[in-house]
Structure 1
Amino acid sequence: MTKRLFLKAAFGLTLLGIASGTARADDALARVRATGTLKVGTETAFAPFDFIDAGQHVGLNVDLFEALGKDMGLKIQWVALPWEGVLPGLQAGKFDVVAGPVTITKARMERYRFLPPIADATDALLKRPNEADLAKPADISGKTVGAGKASSQLAQLQDYAKTLGQPVTIREYVGNTDAYADLAAGRIAAVANSYTNIAYVAKQRPDTFAVVEPPFGPKSYFGYLIPKAPESATLADALSAGIVKMKADGRLAALQKKWFGAASDTPDAVTAPEL
Structure 2
Amino acid sequence: MKLKKLLIFLSLLGVLGVILVGCTQKSGEDTSSKVALTVATDSDTAPFTYKKGEDFKGYDIDVVKAIFKNSKEYDVTFVTTAFDSILAGLDADRYQIAANDFNYNEQRAEKYLFSDPISKSNYAIVSAKGSEYDSLDDLSGKVTEVIPGSNYAQVLENWNEANKDKAPIEIQYVANSTGLSTRVLHIETGKIDFILYDAISAAFIVEDQSYDLKVTKVTDTIGGKTDGLEYLLFADTKEGKELQTYVNKRLEELKEDGTLVKLSQGYFGDDYVSNIE
TM-score, length of structure 2 as denominator length: 0.76
**Match of residue 233 from structure 1:** 241
User: Is residue 113 of structure 1 aligned with residue 113 of structure 2?
Assistant: yes
Q: Provide the rounded CA distance (Å) in 2 between the counterparts of 1:195 and 1:215.
A: 12
Q: CA RMSD in A?
A: 2.4
Q: Which residue in the other structure is 1:98 paired with?
A: 98
On the 8 A contact 1:83/1:150 being kept in 2, the answer is no
What one-letter code is carried by the residue in structure 2 that aligns with 1:138?
D
2-side partners of 1:152 and 1:52: how far apart? 23
2: CA distance, partners of 1:147 / 1:188: 11
CA distance in 2, matches of 1:52, 1:181: 20
TM-score normalised to the size of structure 1? 0.76
Structure 1 residues 204 and 172, CA, compared in 2 at 3 Å: closer, same or farther? same
Q: 1:199 matched to which residue of 2?
A: 203
Matching of residue 167 in structure 1 with residue 168 in structure 2: yes
* 1:55 CA displacement: 5.6
Alpha-carbon distance change, 240 to 143 in structure 1, aligned in 2, over 3 angstroms: same
Matching residue of 2:14: none
SS in 1 for 2:68: helix
Contact persistence 2:67–2:250 (CA under 8 A): yes
Asked if the contact 2:111/2:236 (under 8 Å) is kept, the reply is: yes
Please identify the structure whose Cα radius of gyration is greater.
2
CA-CA distance at 1:54 after TM superposition = 5.0
- How many residues in Structure 1 have an aligned counterpart in Structure 2? 236
Residues 1:133 and 1:253: Cα distance change in structure 2 (over 3 Å): closer
Aligned pairs for 1:174-253 within 5 A: 174=176, 175-205=179-209, 207-216=211-220, 217-218=222-223, 219-253=227-261
Pairing 1:69–2:73 present? no
Q: Deviations over 1:183-224 (max 9, x none)?
A: 232211111112222132234345423212334433241100
Matched AA of 2:60: N
**Aligned partner of residue 70 in structure 1, secondary structure:** coil
- Moved runs in structure 1, 4+ residues, more than 6 A? none
Q: Paired residue for 2:146?
A: 147
Unaligned runs of 5+ in 1: 1-31, 269-275
- Name the CA distance, whole Å, in 2 between partners of 1:101 and 1:132: 27
Q: Is the 8 A contact 1:221 1:266 kept in 2?
A: no
**CA distance in 2: counterparts of 1:127 and 1:184, whole angstroms:** 8
* 1:14 equivalent in structure 2: none
Identical residues among aligned pairs (%): 19
| Range with greater deviation from structure 2 (237-246 or 98-107) | 98-107
Instruction: Quickly say closer, same or farther: Cα 1:266–1:114, change in 2 above 3 A.
Output: farther
For the 8 Å contact 2:122–2:199, the answer to whether it is kept is yes
Which deviates the most, 231-240 or 52-61?
52-61
8 Å Cα contact 1:43/1:100 also seen in 2: yes
Unaligned runs of 5+ in 2: 1-30
Per the alignment, in what secondary structure is the counterpart of residue 52 of structure 1?
strand
Residue in 1 that maps onto 2:10: none
Tell me, in whole angstroms, the C-alpha distance in 1 between the residues paired with 2:38 and 2:275: 25
**Paired amino acid for 2:137:** A
Mapped to 1, the partners of 2:106 and 2:233 lie a distance apart of: 13
Structure 1 residue 135, shift from structure 2 partner: 5.8
Q: Is the 8 A contact 1:147 1:193 kept in 2?
A: no
Structure 1 residue 79 corresponds to structure 2 residue 83: no
In 2, distance between residues paired with 1:235 and 1:77?
Answer: 15
Letter of the 1:147 partner, please give it: V
Q: Is contact 2:206-2:213 (8 Å) kept? A: yes
